[in-house]
A and B are shown apart, each in its own frame.
Chain A
Amino acid sequence: MNDPLSKRATATEIAGAVMSGKAKALAVVDAALARIKAAEPTFNAFTDIVAERARIRAVEIDRGLHRGPMLGVPFAVKNLFDIKGLPTLAGSKINQDGPIAARDGSLVRKLEAAGAILVGGLNMGEYAYDFTGENAHYGPSRNPRDPSRMTGGSSGGSGAAVAAGEVPIALGSDTNGSIRVPASLCGLFGLKPTYGRLSRAGTYPFVDAFDHLGPLARSVDDLALSFDAMQGWDPDDPVCTDRPAEPTLPALLEGINGLRIAIAGDYFERGAQPEALEAVATVAKALGATRKITIPEAAAARSAAYVITAIEGGQLHLPRLKSRPQDFDPDTRERFMAGALLPGAWYVKAQRFRRRYRANVQKLFGEVDIILAPATPCTAPNLGQVMMTLGGAELPVRANLGLFTQPISFIGLPVVVAPLQRPGGLPIGVQIIANHYNEAAALRVARALEKQGVASAPPA
Protein backbone atom coordinates (compact mmCIF):
# COMPACT_ATOMS: atom_id res chain seq x y z
CA MET A 1 0.00 0.00 0.00
CA ASN A 2 1.50 3.27 -1.13
CA ASP A 3 1.18 6.56 0.75
CA PRO A 4 -1.93 8.18 -0.83
CA LEU A 5 -0.06 11.48 -1.05
CA SER A 6 2.89 9.97 -2.94
CA LYS A 7 3.43 9.81 -6.67
CA ARG A 8 3.28 6.02 -6.53
CA ALA A 9 -0.28 5.97 -5.18
CA THR A 10 -2.82 4.48 -7.56
CA ALA A 11 -6.34 5.83 -7.97
CA THR A 12 -7.67 2.75 -6.19
CA GLU A 13 -5.38 3.37 -3.22
CA ILE A 14 -6.24 7.07 -3.05
CA ALA A 15 -10.00 6.43 -3.21
CA GLY A 16 -9.68 3.79 -0.49
CA ALA A 17 -7.75 6.16 1.75
CA VAL A 18 -10.15 9.08 1.23
CA MET A 19 -13.26 6.92 1.68
CA SER A 20 -11.93 5.44 4.91
CA GLY A 21 -10.91 8.85 6.24
CA LYS A 22 -7.20 7.99 6.28
CA ALA A 23 -6.48 10.84 3.86
CA LYS A 24 -8.17 14.14 3.14
CA ALA A 25 -9.06 14.92 -0.47
CA LEU A 26 -7.58 18.39 -0.09
CA ALA A 27 -4.24 16.95 1.01
CA VAL A 28 -4.29 14.55 -1.96
CA VAL A 29 -5.04 17.37 -4.40
CA ASP A 30 -2.43 19.68 -2.88
CA ALA A 31 0.17 16.92 -3.12
CA ALA A 32 -0.73 16.37 -6.79
CA LEU A 33 -0.56 20.11 -7.53
CA ALA A 34 2.87 20.28 -5.87
CA ARG A 35 4.11 17.34 -7.96
CA ILE A 36 2.76 18.98 -11.12
CA LYS A 37 4.53 22.24 -10.28
CA ALA A 38 7.81 20.41 -9.72
CA ALA A 39 7.57 18.13 -12.75
CA GLU A 40 6.19 20.45 -15.44
CA PRO A 41 9.41 22.29 -16.34
CA THR A 42 10.80 18.91 -17.37
CA PHE A 43 7.84 17.04 -18.87
CA ASN A 44 5.49 19.72 -20.24
CA ALA A 45 2.44 17.50 -19.82
CA PHE A 46 -0.08 20.20 -18.84
CA THR A 47 -1.41 23.18 -20.78
CA ASP A 48 -3.92 24.20 -18.10
CA ILE A 49 -4.00 23.63 -14.35
CA VAL A 50 -7.33 24.24 -12.62
CA ALA A 51 -5.98 24.43 -9.07
CA GLU A 52 -8.71 26.58 -7.58
CA ARG A 53 -11.52 24.46 -8.99
CA ALA A 54 -9.78 21.29 -7.80
CA ARG A 55 -9.30 22.63 -4.27
CA ILE A 56 -12.94 23.72 -4.03
CA ARG A 57 -14.07 20.26 -5.09
CA ALA A 58 -11.69 18.62 -2.62
CA VAL A 59 -13.01 20.73 0.25
CA GLU A 60 -16.56 19.71 -0.71
CA ILE A 61 -15.53 16.07 -0.66
CA ASP A 62 -13.90 16.47 2.75
CA ARG A 63 -17.19 17.97 3.94
CA GLY A 64 -19.00 14.85 2.78
CA LEU A 65 -20.86 16.52 -0.10
CA HIS A 66 -19.79 13.98 -2.75
CA ARG A 67 -19.35 10.24 -2.77
CA GLY A 68 -18.29 7.62 -5.24
CA PRO A 69 -15.79 4.88 -6.05
CA MET A 70 -13.11 7.36 -7.17
CA LEU A 71 -13.40 9.66 -4.19
CA GLY A 72 -10.62 12.24 -4.07
CA VAL A 73 -8.70 10.88 -7.07
CA PRO A 74 -6.95 13.67 -9.01
CA PHE A 75 -7.10 13.25 -12.78
CA ALA A 76 -6.34 15.26 -15.90
CA VAL A 77 -7.65 15.18 -19.46
CA LYS A 78 -6.18 15.66 -22.93
CA ASN A 79 -7.04 19.20 -23.90
CA LEU A 80 -9.56 18.12 -26.53
CA PHE A 81 -11.99 17.48 -23.63
CA ASP A 82 -14.20 20.43 -22.78
CA ILE A 83 -13.28 22.00 -19.45
CA LYS A 84 -15.85 24.52 -18.30
CA GLY A 85 -14.55 28.07 -18.64
CA LEU A 86 -11.67 27.23 -20.99
CA PRO A 87 -11.36 27.08 -24.78
CA THR A 88 -11.05 23.47 -25.98
CA LEU A 89 -7.60 23.69 -27.56
CA ALA A 90 -7.26 20.23 -29.11
CA GLY A 91 -3.57 21.06 -29.26
CA SER A 92 -4.12 24.00 -31.59
CA LYS A 93 -3.37 27.70 -31.52
CA ILE A 94 -6.48 28.44 -33.58
CA ASN A 95 -8.87 27.12 -30.93
CA GLN A 96 -7.52 29.62 -28.39
CA ASP A 97 -9.94 31.97 -30.17
CA GLY A 98 -12.70 29.41 -30.17
CA PRO A 99 -15.73 29.14 -27.91
CA ILE A 100 -15.25 28.85 -24.16
CA ALA A 101 -16.68 25.54 -22.96
CA ALA A 102 -20.00 26.09 -21.17
CA ARG A 103 -19.67 22.79 -19.32
CA ASP A 104 -17.28 19.88 -18.93
CA GLY A 105 -17.15 17.02 -21.40
CA SER A 106 -19.35 14.05 -20.64
CA LEU A 107 -16.57 11.78 -19.30
CA VAL A 108 -15.16 14.54 -17.10
CA ARG A 109 -18.62 14.88 -15.55
CA LYS A 110 -18.88 11.12 -15.10
CA LEU A 111 -15.51 10.87 -13.35
CA GLU A 112 -16.36 13.80 -11.10
CA ALA A 113 -19.73 12.22 -10.36
CA ALA A 114 -17.72 9.20 -9.18
CA GLY A 115 -15.80 11.46 -6.78
CA ALA A 116 -12.68 12.15 -8.85
CA ILE A 117 -11.21 15.67 -9.09
CA LEU A 118 -10.11 17.32 -12.33
CA VAL A 119 -6.79 19.11 -11.96
CA GLY A 120 -6.06 20.18 -15.52
CA GLY A 121 -5.88 19.89 -19.31
CA LEU A 122 -3.04 18.06 -21.04
CA ASN A 123 -0.78 18.72 -23.98
CA MET A 124 -1.40 16.85 -27.24
CA GLY A 125 -0.46 16.75 -30.91
CA GLU A 126 -2.39 19.35 -32.90
CA TYR A 127 -5.97 18.27 -33.63
CA ALA A 128 -4.90 14.73 -32.65
CA TYR A 129 -3.29 14.12 -36.07
CA ASP A 130 -0.13 12.88 -34.43
CA PHE A 131 1.71 9.85 -33.06
CA THR A 132 4.67 11.74 -31.52
CA GLY A 133 3.41 14.02 -28.72
CA GLU A 134 5.23 16.94 -30.32
CA ASN A 135 3.52 20.29 -30.70
CA ALA A 136 4.92 23.44 -32.31
CA HIS A 137 2.67 25.79 -30.29
CA TYR A 138 3.02 24.38 -26.77
CA GLY A 139 6.29 22.45 -27.04
CA PRO A 140 6.60 18.67 -26.97
CA SER A 141 5.48 16.60 -24.03
CA ARG A 142 8.60 14.77 -22.82
CA ASN A 143 8.86 11.12 -21.92
CA PRO A 144 9.35 10.65 -18.15
CA ARG A 145 11.37 7.47 -18.86
CA ASP A 146 13.86 9.65 -20.78
CA PRO A 147 13.01 13.34 -21.33
CA SER A 148 15.05 13.45 -24.54
CA ARG A 149 12.53 11.02 -26.05
CA MET A 150 9.02 11.33 -27.46
CA THR A 151 6.04 10.44 -25.32
CA GLY A 152 4.21 9.22 -28.36
CA GLY A 153 0.92 10.80 -29.28
CA SER A 154 -1.35 12.25 -29.81
CA SER A 155 -2.25 11.85 -26.09
CA GLY A 156 1.34 12.79 -25.21
CA GLY A 157 0.57 14.90 -22.15
CA SER A 158 -1.67 12.12 -20.84
CA GLY A 159 1.24 9.69 -21.09
CA ALA A 160 3.73 12.11 -19.52
CA ALA A 161 1.47 13.16 -16.62
CA VAL A 162 0.77 9.58 -15.53
CA ALA A 163 4.27 8.19 -16.13
CA ALA A 164 5.80 11.11 -14.18
CA GLY A 165 3.46 10.43 -11.28
CA GLU A 166 1.79 13.84 -11.51
CA VAL A 167 -1.66 12.20 -11.53
CA PRO A 168 -2.66 8.53 -11.26
CA ILE A 169 -5.09 8.66 -14.18
CA ALA A 170 -5.45 10.69 -17.34
CA LEU A 171 -7.95 10.53 -20.16
CA GLY A 172 -6.86 10.47 -23.77
CA SER A 173 -8.39 9.88 -27.15
CA ASP A 174 -7.48 7.18 -29.63
CA THR A 175 -8.42 7.40 -33.31
CA ASN A 176 -5.61 5.30 -34.75
CA GLY A 177 -3.50 4.59 -31.66
CA SER A 178 -3.31 7.85 -29.71
CA ILE A 179 -3.84 6.16 -26.32
CA ARG A 180 -1.96 2.96 -27.15
CA VAL A 181 1.15 4.58 -28.63
CA PRO A 182 1.90 6.84 -25.61
CA ALA A 183 1.00 3.98 -23.24
CA SER A 184 3.63 1.87 -24.99
CA LEU A 185 6.34 4.54 -25.24
CA CYS A 186 5.80 5.88 -21.69
CA GLY A 187 5.39 2.39 -20.16
CA LEU A 188 1.78 2.66 -18.96
CA PHE A 189 -1.42 0.68 -18.97
CA GLY A 190 -3.92 2.10 -21.44
CA LEU A 191 -7.45 1.17 -22.43
CA LYS A 192 -9.02 1.92 -25.78
CA PRO A 193 -12.56 0.63 -25.33
CA THR A 194 -14.96 -0.65 -27.99
CA TYR A 195 -16.01 2.03 -30.48
CA GLY A 196 -19.11 3.73 -29.09
CA ARG A 197 -18.71 2.29 -25.60
CA LEU A 198 -17.81 5.61 -23.96
CA SER A 199 -19.46 8.91 -24.82
CA ARG A 200 -17.45 11.40 -26.83
CA ALA A 201 -19.83 14.28 -26.12
CA GLY A 202 -18.01 17.45 -25.16
CA THR A 203 -14.76 16.62 -26.91
CA TYR A 204 -13.22 18.09 -30.04
CA PRO A 205 -13.51 15.52 -32.86
CA PHE A 206 -10.92 14.27 -35.32
CA VAL A 207 -12.24 11.30 -37.32
CA ASP A 208 -15.77 10.46 -36.25
CA ALA A 209 -15.51 6.98 -37.79
CA PHE A 210 -12.74 5.96 -35.37
CA ASP A 211 -12.66 8.43 -32.46
CA HIS A 212 -12.53 6.66 -29.09
CA LEU A 213 -11.83 7.95 -25.56
CA GLY A 214 -10.23 6.08 -22.69
CA PRO A 215 -7.90 6.12 -19.67
CA LEU A 216 -4.15 5.75 -19.15
CA ALA A 217 -3.06 4.59 -15.70
CA ARG A 218 -0.36 2.80 -13.73
CA SER A 219 -2.49 -0.17 -12.69
CA VAL A 220 -5.11 -2.41 -14.26
CA ASP A 221 -7.45 -1.82 -11.32
CA ASP A 222 -7.35 1.89 -12.14
CA LEU A 223 -8.23 1.29 -15.79
CA ALA A 224 -11.22 -0.84 -14.75
CA LEU A 225 -12.28 1.54 -11.97
CA SER A 226 -12.34 4.56 -14.28
CA PHE A 227 -13.80 2.66 -17.25
CA ASP A 228 -16.68 1.43 -15.11
CA ALA A 229 -17.33 4.96 -13.87
CA MET A 230 -17.49 6.27 -17.44
CA GLN A 231 -19.71 3.62 -19.03
CA GLY A 232 -23.33 4.31 -19.93
CA TRP A 233 -25.49 5.61 -22.74
CA ASP A 234 -25.29 9.30 -23.57
CA PRO A 235 -27.87 10.91 -25.88
CA ASP A 236 -25.34 13.64 -26.72
CA ASP A 237 -23.10 11.21 -28.66
CA PRO A 238 -25.07 9.58 -31.50
CA VAL A 239 -22.52 6.75 -31.66
CA CYS A 240 -22.70 5.91 -27.94
CA THR A 241 -24.13 2.45 -27.32
CA ASP A 242 -27.36 1.94 -25.43
CA ARG A 243 -26.17 -1.42 -24.11
CA PRO A 244 -26.31 -1.51 -20.35
CA ALA A 245 -23.07 -0.79 -18.54
CA GLU A 246 -21.18 -3.94 -17.61
CA PRO A 247 -18.78 -3.39 -14.70
CA THR A 248 -15.35 -4.86 -15.39
CA LEU A 249 -13.77 -4.46 -11.95
CA PRO A 250 -15.42 -7.61 -10.50
CA ALA A 251 -14.24 -9.60 -13.56
CA LEU A 252 -10.60 -8.94 -12.65
CA LEU A 253 -10.91 -11.50 -9.89
CA GLU A 254 -11.74 -14.23 -12.40
CA GLY A 255 -8.19 -14.75 -13.69
CA ILE A 256 -7.60 -15.94 -17.24
CA ASN A 257 -8.89 -19.50 -17.01
CA GLY A 258 -11.00 -20.33 -20.02
CA LEU A 259 -9.64 -17.54 -22.20
CA ARG A 260 -8.26 -18.67 -25.56
CA ILE A 261 -5.26 -16.48 -26.28
CA ALA A 262 -3.45 -16.26 -29.60
CA ILE A 263 -0.59 -14.26 -31.07
CA ALA A 264 -1.10 -12.15 -34.20
CA GLY A 265 1.33 -13.32 -36.86
CA ASP A 266 2.09 -12.17 -40.40
CA TYR A 267 1.53 -8.39 -40.65
CA PHE A 268 2.09 -7.93 -36.91
CA GLU A 269 5.51 -9.59 -37.07
CA ARG A 270 6.80 -7.55 -39.97
CA GLY A 271 8.36 -4.11 -39.71
CA ALA A 272 8.88 -4.31 -35.95
CA GLN A 273 12.13 -3.88 -34.11
CA PRO A 274 13.26 -6.92 -32.09
CA GLU A 275 12.20 -5.42 -28.73
CA ALA A 276 8.59 -5.16 -29.92
CA LEU A 277 8.48 -8.83 -30.91
CA GLU A 278 10.36 -9.88 -27.77
CA ALA A 279 7.72 -8.11 -25.67
CA VAL A 280 4.94 -10.06 -27.38
CA ALA A 281 6.89 -13.31 -26.92
CA THR A 282 7.44 -12.57 -23.21
CA VAL A 283 3.74 -11.88 -22.69
CA ALA A 284 2.69 -14.96 -24.69
CA LYS A 285 5.01 -17.15 -22.65
CA ALA A 286 3.71 -15.77 -19.37
CA LEU A 287 0.16 -16.52 -20.50
CA GLY A 288 1.00 -19.93 -21.93
CA ALA A 289 -0.17 -18.81 -25.36
CA THR A 290 1.38 -20.62 -28.31
CA ARG A 291 -1.24 -20.43 -31.04
CA LYS A 292 -0.50 -18.04 -33.86
CA ILE A 293 -3.27 -16.61 -36.02
CA THR A 294 -3.39 -14.34 -39.03
CA ILE A 295 -5.67 -11.33 -39.07
CA PRO A 296 -6.56 -11.34 -42.76
CA GLU A 297 -5.92 -8.22 -44.83
CA ALA A 298 -4.37 -6.27 -41.92
CA ALA A 299 -2.16 -4.30 -44.33
CA ALA A 300 -5.21 -3.17 -46.31
CA ALA A 301 -6.93 -2.33 -43.03
CA ARG A 302 -4.08 -0.05 -42.01
CA SER A 303 -4.18 1.50 -45.46
CA ALA A 304 -7.96 2.04 -45.26
CA ALA A 305 -7.68 3.54 -41.76
CA TYR A 306 -5.07 5.96 -43.08
CA VAL A 307 -7.28 6.97 -46.01
CA ILE A 308 -10.41 7.53 -43.90
CA THR A 309 -8.38 9.51 -41.36
CA ALA A 310 -6.69 11.72 -43.94
CA ILE A 311 -9.93 12.48 -45.76
CA GLU A 312 -12.17 13.01 -42.71
CA GLY A 313 -9.47 15.06 -40.97
CA GLY A 314 -8.77 17.15 -44.07
CA GLN A 315 -12.47 17.75 -44.62
CA LEU A 316 -13.08 18.70 -40.96
CA HIS A 317 -10.35 21.32 -41.00
CA LEU A 318 -10.89 22.64 -44.53
CA PRO A 319 -12.44 25.95 -43.39
CA ARG A 320 -9.42 26.67 -41.16
CA LEU A 321 -6.95 25.46 -43.82
CA LYS A 322 -8.50 28.09 -46.09
CA SER A 323 -8.70 30.93 -43.58
CA ARG A 324 -5.77 30.44 -41.18
CA PRO A 325 -3.19 28.09 -42.70
CA GLN A 326 -0.35 30.04 -41.07
CA ASP A 327 -1.71 29.23 -37.61
CA PHE A 328 -1.47 25.42 -37.97
CA ASP A 329 1.41 23.38 -36.61
CA PRO A 330 3.73 22.90 -39.62
CA ASP A 331 3.72 19.17 -38.87
CA THR A 332 -0.02 18.82 -39.38
CA ARG A 333 -0.86 21.58 -41.87
CA GLU A 334 0.35 20.00 -45.10
CA ARG A 335 -0.89 16.56 -44.07
CA PHE A 336 -4.37 17.98 -43.54
CA MET A 337 -4.15 19.83 -46.85
CA ALA A 338 -3.11 16.69 -48.74
CA GLY A 339 -5.89 14.74 -47.00
CA ALA A 340 -8.50 17.24 -48.09
CA LEU A 341 -7.49 16.65 -51.72
CA LEU A 342 -7.54 12.82 -51.80
CA PRO A 343 -10.10 11.11 -54.06
CA GLY A 344 -13.54 10.44 -52.61
CA ALA A 345 -13.48 7.04 -54.30
CA TRP A 346 -10.75 5.98 -51.88
CA TYR A 347 -12.93 6.91 -48.92
CA VAL A 348 -15.92 4.93 -50.09
CA LYS A 349 -13.77 1.92 -50.92
CA ALA A 350 -12.18 2.09 -47.46
CA GLN A 351 -15.63 2.08 -45.83
CA ARG A 352 -16.83 -0.82 -47.99
CA PHE A 353 -13.67 -2.77 -47.20
CA ARG A 354 -14.17 -2.07 -43.51
CA ARG A 355 -17.38 -4.05 -43.55
CA ARG A 356 -15.67 -7.15 -44.97
CA TYR A 357 -12.66 -6.86 -42.68
CA ARG A 358 -14.88 -6.54 -39.61
CA ALA A 359 -16.81 -9.69 -40.59
CA ASN A 360 -13.58 -11.65 -41.11
CA VAL A 361 -12.02 -10.55 -37.83
CA GLN A 362 -15.22 -11.39 -35.97
CA LYS A 363 -14.97 -14.91 -37.37
CA LEU A 364 -11.54 -15.17 -35.72
CA PHE A 365 -13.13 -14.33 -32.40
CA GLY A 366 -15.18 -17.51 -32.77
CA GLU A 367 -11.91 -19.37 -32.28
CA VAL A 368 -10.03 -17.16 -29.83
CA ASP A 369 -10.92 -14.64 -27.12
CA ILE A 370 -7.73 -12.59 -27.09
CA ILE A 371 -5.19 -11.62 -29.72
CA LEU A 372 -1.74 -10.33 -28.74
CA ALA A 373 0.18 -7.88 -30.94
CA PRO A 374 2.88 -5.24 -30.52
CA ALA A 375 1.56 -1.80 -29.57
CA THR A 376 4.37 0.10 -31.28
CA PRO A 377 7.03 -1.14 -33.69
CA CYS A 378 9.79 0.38 -31.49
CA THR A 379 10.53 2.07 -28.17
CA ALA A 380 10.37 5.87 -27.86
CA PRO A 381 12.19 7.70 -30.67
CA ASN A 382 14.21 10.83 -29.92
CA LEU A 383 12.34 14.12 -29.86
CA GLY A 384 12.52 15.67 -33.30
CA GLN A 385 13.39 12.38 -34.99
CA VAL A 386 11.82 12.29 -38.46
CA MET A 387 12.82 8.92 -39.92
CA MET A 388 13.34 5.48 -38.41
CA THR A 389 14.45 2.08 -39.67
CA LEU A 390 11.80 -0.63 -39.57
CA GLY A 391 12.29 -4.04 -41.16
CA GLY A 392 15.29 -2.66 -43.04
CA ALA A 393 13.34 0.25 -44.55
CA GLU A 394 13.73 3.95 -43.74
CA LEU A 395 10.24 5.17 -42.87
CA PRO A 396 8.76 8.39 -41.46
CA VAL A 397 8.26 8.18 -37.68
CA ARG A 398 4.96 10.07 -37.78
CA ALA A 399 3.15 7.76 -40.15
CA ASN A 400 4.53 4.52 -38.77
CA LEU A 401 4.36 4.57 -34.97
CA GLY A 402 0.74 3.47 -35.41
CA LEU A 403 1.45 0.63 -37.82
CA PHE A 404 0.11 -2.00 -35.42
CA THR A 405 -2.63 0.00 -33.73
CA GLN A 406 -4.41 1.26 -36.85
CA PRO A 407 -5.79 -2.07 -38.13
CA ILE A 408 -7.42 -2.65 -34.71
CA SER A 409 -9.13 0.70 -34.03
CA PHE A 410 -10.26 0.62 -37.68
CA ILE A 411 -13.03 -1.76 -36.58
CA GLY A 412 -13.39 -0.49 -33.03
CA LEU A 413 -12.06 -3.51 -31.13
CA PRO A 414 -11.28 -2.96 -27.43
CA VAL A 415 -7.60 -3.09 -26.51
CA VAL A 416 -5.63 -2.90 -23.29
CA VAL A 417 -1.95 -2.01 -23.59
CA ALA A 418 0.24 -3.83 -21.08
CA PRO A 419 3.62 -2.14 -20.54
CA LEU A 420 6.86 -4.06 -20.16
CA GLN A 421 9.62 -2.18 -18.36
CA ARG A 422 13.03 -3.09 -19.72
CA PRO A 423 15.84 -2.60 -17.19
CA GLY A 424 18.48 -0.38 -18.73
CA GLY A 425 16.23 0.27 -21.71
CA LEU A 426 13.00 2.00 -22.60
CA PRO A 427 9.58 0.42 -22.00
CA ILE A 428 7.35 -1.01 -24.72
CA GLY A 429 3.74 -2.14 -24.73
CA VAL A 430 1.79 -5.13 -25.99
CA GLN A 431 -1.78 -4.87 -27.30
CA ILE A 432 -4.25 -7.24 -25.68
CA ILE A 433 -7.10 -7.24 -28.19
CA ALA A 434 -10.56 -8.61 -27.42
CA ASN A 435 -13.85 -8.88 -29.31
CA HIS A 436 -16.30 -6.00 -29.29
CA TYR A 437 -17.74 -5.19 -25.86
CA ASN A 438 -15.37 -7.66 -24.18
CA GLU A 439 -13.12 -5.12 -22.45
CA ALA A 440 -13.34 -7.35 -19.38
CA ALA A 441 -11.39 -10.16 -21.07
CA ALA A 442 -8.56 -7.83 -22.11
CA LEU A 443 -8.44 -6.34 -18.61
CA ARG A 444 -8.33 -9.83 -17.04
CA VAL A 445 -5.32 -10.73 -19.18
CA ALA A 446 -3.57 -7.45 -18.33
CA ARG A 447 -4.26 -8.11 -14.67
CA ALA A 448 -2.72 -11.58 -14.92
CA LEU A 449 0.43 -10.06 -16.43
CA GLU A 450 0.53 -7.39 -13.72
CA LYS A 451 0.12 -10.01 -11.01
CA GLN A 452 3.00 -12.04 -12.43
CA GLY A 453 5.18 -8.93 -12.54
CA VAL A 454 5.53 -9.19 -16.32
CA ALA A 455 3.72 -5.91 -16.93
CA SER A 456 4.11 -2.93 -14.61
CA ALA A 457 3.97 0.84 -14.70
CA PRO A 458 5.78 2.42 -11.77
CA PRO A 459 6.16 6.19 -11.99
CA ALA A 460 9.49 7.32 -13.41
Chain B
Amino acid sequence: MAEDKPDVGRLVDEAAKALGLPIADQYRANVIVNYERSLAIARPLLEVDLDDELTPAPVFRP
Protein backbone atom coordinates (compact mmCIF):
# COMPACT_ATOMS: atom_id res chain seq x y z
CA MET B 1 0.00 0.00 0.00
CA ALA B 2 1.38 3.40 -0.90
CA GLU B 3 2.20 5.50 2.14
CA ASP B 4 -0.15 8.38 2.84
CA LYS B 5 2.13 11.42 2.79
CA PRO B 6 0.92 14.36 4.81
CA ASP B 7 0.34 17.69 3.10
CA VAL B 8 3.11 19.42 5.03
CA GLY B 9 2.20 22.89 3.76
CA ARG B 10 -1.29 22.55 5.17
CA LEU B 11 0.00 20.89 8.34
CA VAL B 12 2.37 23.79 8.99
CA ASP B 13 -0.32 26.39 8.28
CA GLU B 14 -2.89 24.79 10.57
CA ALA B 15 -0.46 23.91 13.38
CA ALA B 16 0.88 27.47 13.30
CA LYS B 17 -2.67 28.79 13.60
CA ALA B 18 -3.41 26.48 16.52
CA LEU B 19 -0.24 27.66 18.24
CA GLY B 20 -0.82 31.34 17.45
CA LEU B 21 2.48 31.57 15.57
CA PRO B 22 2.20 33.82 12.53
CA ILE B 23 4.54 32.62 9.77
CA ALA B 24 5.24 35.33 7.20
CA ASP B 25 5.13 34.33 3.55
CA GLN B 26 8.87 34.78 3.13
CA TYR B 27 9.56 32.19 5.88
CA ARG B 28 6.85 29.66 5.05
CA ALA B 29 8.62 27.69 2.32
CA ASN B 30 11.67 27.08 4.48
CA VAL B 31 9.57 26.13 7.50
CA ILE B 32 7.99 23.47 5.28
CA VAL B 33 11.43 22.28 4.11
CA ASN B 34 12.52 21.96 7.73
CA TYR B 35 9.31 20.20 8.76
CA GLU B 36 9.81 17.68 5.95
CA ARG B 37 13.42 17.21 7.03
CA SER B 38 12.20 16.57 10.57
CA LEU B 39 9.76 13.94 9.31
CA ALA B 40 12.68 12.12 7.66
CA ILE B 41 15.02 12.40 10.66
CA ALA B 42 12.27 11.35 13.10
CA ARG B 43 11.51 8.19 11.16
CA PRO B 44 13.93 5.83 13.01
CA LEU B 45 12.35 6.91 16.30
CA LEU B 46 8.81 6.57 15.01
CA GLU B 47 9.53 3.02 13.82
CA VAL B 48 10.62 1.87 17.29
CA ASP B 49 8.14 -0.20 19.33
CA LEU B 50 7.98 0.57 23.04
CA ASP B 51 6.38 -1.47 25.84
CA ASP B 52 3.52 0.30 27.58
CA GLU B 53 5.42 -0.06 30.85
CA LEU B 54 8.24 2.10 29.50
CA THR B 55 7.41 5.48 30.97
CA PRO B 56 9.61 8.55 30.69
CA ALA B 57 11.63 9.11 33.84
CA PRO B 58 10.12 12.18 35.56
CA VAL B 59 13.64 13.24 36.48
CA PHE B 60 16.34 12.17 34.08
CA ARG B 61 19.29 10.73 35.95
CA PRO B 62 22.29 9.85 33.84
Question: Which positions in A face B, CB cutoff 8 Å?
Answer: 194-196, 209, 297, 299-300, 302-304, 306-307, 310, 318, 321-322, 325, 333-335, 337-342, 346, 348-356, 358, 396, 399, 411-413, 436-437
> Smallest CB–CB gap between A395 and chain B, Å?
10
B23 partner, pick from A297, A299, A337, beta carbons under 8 A: A337
Closest 6 CB pairs of A and B: A412-B62, A338-B34, A351-B56, A303-B45, A334-B30, A341-B15
Interface size on B, residues (CB 8 A): 35
Q: B35-57 vs A: 1/0 string, CB under 8 Å? A: 10110011111111010001111
> Smallest CB–CB gap between A436 and chain B, Å?
4
In the complex, are the beta carbons of A318 and B19 less than 8 A apart? yes
> Smallest CB–CB gap between A293 and chain B, Å?
20
Nearest residue in B to A357 (C-beta to C-beta)? B48
Bound-complex Cα distance A339 to B50 (A): 23
In the complex, are the beta carbons of B50 and A353 less than 8 A apart? yes
Residues of B within 8 A of A195 (CB): 60, 62
Residues of A within 8 A of B46 (CB): 303, 346, 349
In the complex, are the beta carbons of B45 and A304 less than 8 A apart? yes
> Smallest CB–CB gap between A407 and chain B, Å?
11
> Smallest CB–CB gap between B2 and chain A, Å?
22
Which of B20, B37, B62 gathers the greatest number of chain A CB atoms within 10 Å? B62
Additional 19 contacts, C-beta under 8 A, given A334-B30, A355-B57:
A300-B44, A300-B48, A303-B45, A307-B38, A307-B45, A322-B20, A337-B34, A338-B12, A338-B37, A339-B34, A340-B21, A341-B35, A342-B42, A350-B45, A354-B57, A354-B60, A355-B54, A356-B54, A412-B62
Residues of B within 8 A of A333 (CB): 27
Given contacts A340-B19, A342-B38, A396-B37, whether A325 and B60 have CB atoms under 8 Å apart is no
> Smallest CB–CB gap between B4 and chain A, Å?
16
> Smallest CB–CB gap between B49 and chain A, Å?
10
> Smallest CB–CB gap between A296 and chain B, Å?
11
> Smallest CB–CB gap between A371 and chain B, Å?
15
In the complex, are the beta carbons of B34 and A334 less than 8 A apart? yes
> Smallest CB–CB gap between B30 and chain A, Å?
4
Given contacts A304-B45, A354-B56, A355-B56, whether A335 and B34 have CB atoms under 8 Å apart is yes
In the complex, are the beta carbons of A436 and B62 less than 8 A apart? yes
Is chain B's binding surface mostly helix, strand, loop or mixed? Answer: helix
Which of A195, A300, A318, A338 gathers the greatest number of chain B CB atoms within 10 Å? A338
In the complex, are the beta carbons of A348 and B56 less than 8 A apart? yes
Given contacts A325-B27, A338-B31, A346-B46, whether A352 and B55 have CB atoms under 8 Å apart is yes
In the complex, are the beta carbons of B34 and A321 less than 8 A apart? no
Residues of A within 8 A of B32 (CB): 338
Residues of B within 8 A of A209 (CB): 60
In the complex, are the beta carbons of A341 and B62 less than 8 A apart? no
> Smallest CB–CB gap between A332 and chain B, Å?
10
A346 partner, pick from B34, B42, B61, beta carbons under 8 A: B42
Bound-complex Cα distance A412 to B48 (A): 21
In the complex, are the beta carbons of A413 and B62 less than 8 A apart? yes
Given contacts A346-B46, A436-B62, whether A306 and B38 have CB atoms under 8 Å apart is yes
* CB of B1 closer than 8 Å to a CB of A: no
In the complex, are the beta carbons of B27 and A337 less than 8 A apart? yes
In the complex, are the beta carbons of A349 and B15 less than 8 A apart? no
Residues of B within 8 A of A340 (CB): 19, 21
Bound-complex Cα distance A318 to B22 (A): 11
Given contacts A348-B56, A349-B50, A355-B56, whether A334 and B27 have CB atoms under 8 Å apart is yes
> Smallest CB–CB gap between B31 and chain A, Å?
5
Given contacts A195-B60, A413-B62, whether A337 and B44 have CB atoms under 8 Å apart is no
Residues of A within 8 A of B15 (CB): 341
In the complex, are the beta carbons of B48 and A297 less than 8 A apart? yes
> Smallest CB–CB gap between A405 and chain B, Å?
15
> Smallest CB–CB gap between A326 and chain B, Å?
8
Bound-complex Cα distance A118 to B44 (A): 43
Given contacts A303-B44, A307-B42, A355-B54, whether A318 and B21 have CB atoms under 8 Å apart is yes
Bound-complex Cα distance A157 to B23 (A): 31
In the complex, are the beta carbons of A337 and B56 less than 8 A apart? no
Which of A348, A351, A412 gathers the greatest number of chain B CB atoms within 10 Å? A351
Residues of B within 8 A of A194 (CB): 62
In the complex, are the beta carbons of A339 and B38 less than 8 A apart? yes
Residues of B within 8 A of A348 (CB): 56
> Smallest CB–CB gap between A183 and chain B, Å?
21
Residues of B within 8 A of A353 (CB): 45, 48, 50, 54
Bound-complex Cα distance A302 to B22 (A): 30
Nearest residue in B to A326 (C-beta to C-beta)? B24
Which of B12, B16, B41, B50 gathers the greatest number of chain A CB atoms within 10 Å? B41
In the complex, are the beta carbons of A341 and B42 less than 8 A apart? no
